[in-house]
């Protein structure tokens, strides 16, 4: 077996908790929402039933209003192993009985994952597709209510854009995108907590700062005080950002959900999902800045654009957009601020543009390259026929993983693996890329045999 494939399978197996997967052995000991979606794609390549269990397990934590929480806590993990712990979130009475969750969400990659898991199963030709389709029928209503919640509770004005109430909701926690909005939050000094995360990385500089954590805790406390009521939060919460990357994932996931609706025996629901996807894309259009060739988030508290130059600017590529915009964005992605930056170890995009003043190659979401983000861009480019750039990204990403293993993120210039060294979602995308590479090689070989 390919050495990277064996390593990736080993990471997933080592992080396996039976029906769900820890994002990493020590740093993240519970189940995370968007990690679970990526991880399920990884499992689908060698254990399809286990892939479905991952998603079922996550959706056990879905709230009655449709929200899929960022974390489903494992009650057997030592208190204090991860902070903030469940009790800090004060979600009892909101989570389903018997399940402990946080009170915020993360980008909705789940329908995209289920769609891909079906494609993986179909390509295996071993009959597993029937089990996947049964799971689609079972999970479809939950996915539909999750998307409905995002399009209403997080977009009450019908702008098409999703509002996030915490940097953790974006998934790109300490991205410079959030700096100004976070700096404006009045810190609640009683809201601080311990930092067990710092002992699980080689250098604390790879993690968010204590000041950022004080603000993260302050925002949690604010949401608790507001009773997690979205209307109250839209009025009074001090951190409200229209997040273009989250919105783009939702648009792409709405399209995937439209296809899943057919499989689930709900063809009547298809048009509604397509309408939702188009609305989200229109929301992104309103955030498009041609002079920057990027989509910008909107700070709804300060009523201004967020000017940091980050991978989030490529949101239209993920959502789907017209050809001119796609080509402009693809050129920028491959260009000197991102994957084509001089001196990069691998030609994959850093999380923040190398020429942005906030670029920091070591610090978490402020510069390192993240395989899952490269995967989203690769997947979208491939979906929309940009096979050349997609394949170039995939090849560079696989080379990076072969050299550095399944680390959480990597230093874009030295290539040094950073963060957790055995990150589940990195292992998952490695497996998906290796499989896509085999398919690509088969197509190339077939074309060569045909003389085409």
CB of 174 to ligand 2M8, least distance (A): 8
Site track for ligand 2M8 across 185-224, x = CB under 6 A: ------------x---------------------------
Among 12, 23, 108, 214, binds ligand 2M8 (CB under 6 A): 23
Sign for the pseudo-dihedral over CA of 386, 389, 391, 394: negative
CB of 331 to ligand 2M8, least distance (A): 28
70 binds ligand 2M8 per the rule CB under 6 A: yes
421 binds ligand 2M8 per the rule CB under 6 A: no
CA-CA distance, 444 to 452, in Å (whole number)?
A: 9
* Active-site residue, 268 included: no
34 binds ligand 2M8 per the rule CB under 6 A: yes
Sign for the pseudo-dihedral over CA of 29, 35, 36, 39: negative
Q: Which of 197, 408, 432, 435 is catalytic?
A: 408
CA-CA distance, 347 to 339, in Å (whole number)?
A: 5
Please count the residues of this chain forming the interface with ligand 2M8, following the rule CB under 6 A: 10
Among 4, 20, 35, 272, binds ligand 2M8 (CB under 6 A): 35
Cis amide linkage into residue 84, ω under 30° from 0: yes
Q: Under rule CB under 6 A, which residues in 87-146 are in contact with ligand 2M8?
A: none
CB-facing half-sphere around the CA of 402: CA atoms within 13 A: 12
Could you give the angle at which helices 48-59 and 129-152 cross, rounded to 10 degrees?
A: 30
Give the residue with the Cβ less far from ligand 2M8, 337 or 351: 351
* Active-site residue, 327 included: no
CB-facing half-sphere around the CA of 139: CA atoms within 13 A: 30
- The CA-CA-CA angle for residues 171, 173, 178, to 5°, reads 115
Q: Which of 16, 54, 173, 435 is catalytic?
A: 173
Give the residue with the Cβ less far from ligand 2M8, 28 or 379: 28
168 binds ligand 2M8 per the rule CB under 6 A: yes
Could you give the angle at which helices 33-44 and 424-450 cross, rounded to 10 degrees?
A: 40
Find the DSSP H helices in 75-128. 86-89, 110-124
32 binds ligand 2M8 per the rule CB under 6 A: yes
Q: DSSP letters of 431-450?
A: HHHHHHHHHHHHHHHHHHHH
Give the residue with the Cβ less far from ligand 2M8, 173 or 432: 173
171 binds ligand 2M8 per the rule CB under 6 A: yes
Q: Which stretch binds ligand 2M8 (CB under 6 A): 13-21, 123-131, 165-173, 307-315?
A: 165-173
Instruction: Give how far Cα 443 sits from Cα of 153, 387, 439, 450, Å.
Output: 44, 12, 6, 10
Q: Which stretch binds ligand 2M8 (CB under 6 A): 168-176, 178-186, 271-279, 328-336?
A: 168-176
38 binds ligand 2M8 per the rule CB under 6 A: no
Q: b/e for 70-80, b at 16 or more Cβ within 10 A?
A: bbbbbeeeeee
Phi, psi angle pair for 316, to nearest 5°: -60, -30
CB of 38 to ligand 2M8, least distance (A): 9
Give the residue with the Cβ less far from ligand 2M8, 128 or 420: 420
On whether the CB atoms of residues 113 and 249 are closer than 8 A, the answer is: no
Catalytic residue annotation: 173, 408
Interface with ligand 2M8 (CB under 6 A) = 23, 28, 32, 34-35, 70, 168, 171, 173, 197
């Amino acid at each position: 077996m390919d050495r990277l494939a064996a390593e990736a399978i080993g990471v997933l197996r080592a992080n396996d908790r039976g029906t769900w997967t820890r994002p990493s052995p020590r740093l993240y000991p519970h189940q995370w929402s968007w990690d679970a979606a990526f991880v399920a794609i990884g499992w689908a390549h060698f254990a399809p039933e286990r892939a479905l269990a991952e998603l079922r397990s996550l959706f056990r934590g879905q709230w009655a209003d449709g929200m899929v929480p960022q974390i489903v806590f494992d009650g057997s993990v030592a208190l204090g192993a991860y902070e903030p712990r469940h009790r800090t979130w004060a979600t009892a009475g909101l989570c389903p009985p018997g399940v402990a969750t946080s009170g915020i969400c993360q980008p909705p990659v789940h329908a995209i994952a289920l769609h891909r898991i079906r494609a993986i199963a179909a390509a295996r030709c071993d009959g597993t597709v029937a089990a996947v389709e049964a799971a689609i029928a079972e999970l479809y209503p939950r996915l539909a209510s999750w998307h409905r919640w995002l399009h209403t509770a997080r977009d009450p004005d019908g702008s098409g854009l999703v509002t996030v109430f915490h940097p953790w909701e974006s998934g790109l926690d300490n991205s410079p995108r959030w700096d100004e909005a976070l700096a404006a939050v009045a810190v609640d000094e009683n809201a601080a907590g311990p930092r067990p995360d710092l002992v699980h990385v080689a250098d604390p500089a790879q993690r968010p700062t204590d000041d950022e954590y004080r603000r993260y805790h302050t925002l949690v406390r604010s949401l608790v005080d507001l009773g997690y009521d979205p209307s109250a939060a839209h009025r009074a919460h001090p951190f409200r950002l229209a997040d273009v990357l989250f919105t783009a994932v939702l648009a792409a996931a709405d399209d995937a959900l439209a296809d899943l609706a057919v499989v689930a025996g709900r063809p009547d629901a298809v048009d509604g999902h397509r309408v939702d996807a188009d609305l989200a894309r229109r929301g992104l259009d309103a955030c498009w800045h041609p002079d920057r060739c990027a989509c910008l988030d909107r700070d709804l508290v300060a009523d201004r654009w967020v000017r940091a130059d980050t991978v989030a600017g490529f949101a239209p590529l993920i959502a789907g957009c017209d050809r001119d915009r796609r080509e402009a964005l693809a050129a920028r992605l491959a260009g000197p601020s991102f994957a084509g930056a001089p001196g990069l170890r691998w030609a994959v995009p850093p999380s923040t543009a190398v020429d942005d003043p906030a670029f920091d190659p070591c610090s978490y979401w402020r510069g390192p390259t993240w395989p899952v983000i490269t995967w989203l861009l690769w997947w979208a480019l491939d979906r929309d026929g940009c096979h050349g750039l997609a394949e170039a990204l995939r090849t560079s990403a696989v080379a990076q993983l072969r050299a550095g293993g399944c680390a959480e993120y990597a230093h874009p210039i030295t290539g040094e693996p950073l963060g957790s060294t055995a990150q589940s979602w990195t292992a998952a995308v490695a497996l998906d890329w290796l499989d896509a590479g085999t398919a690509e090689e088969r197509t190339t070989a077939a074309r060569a045999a045909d003389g085409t």
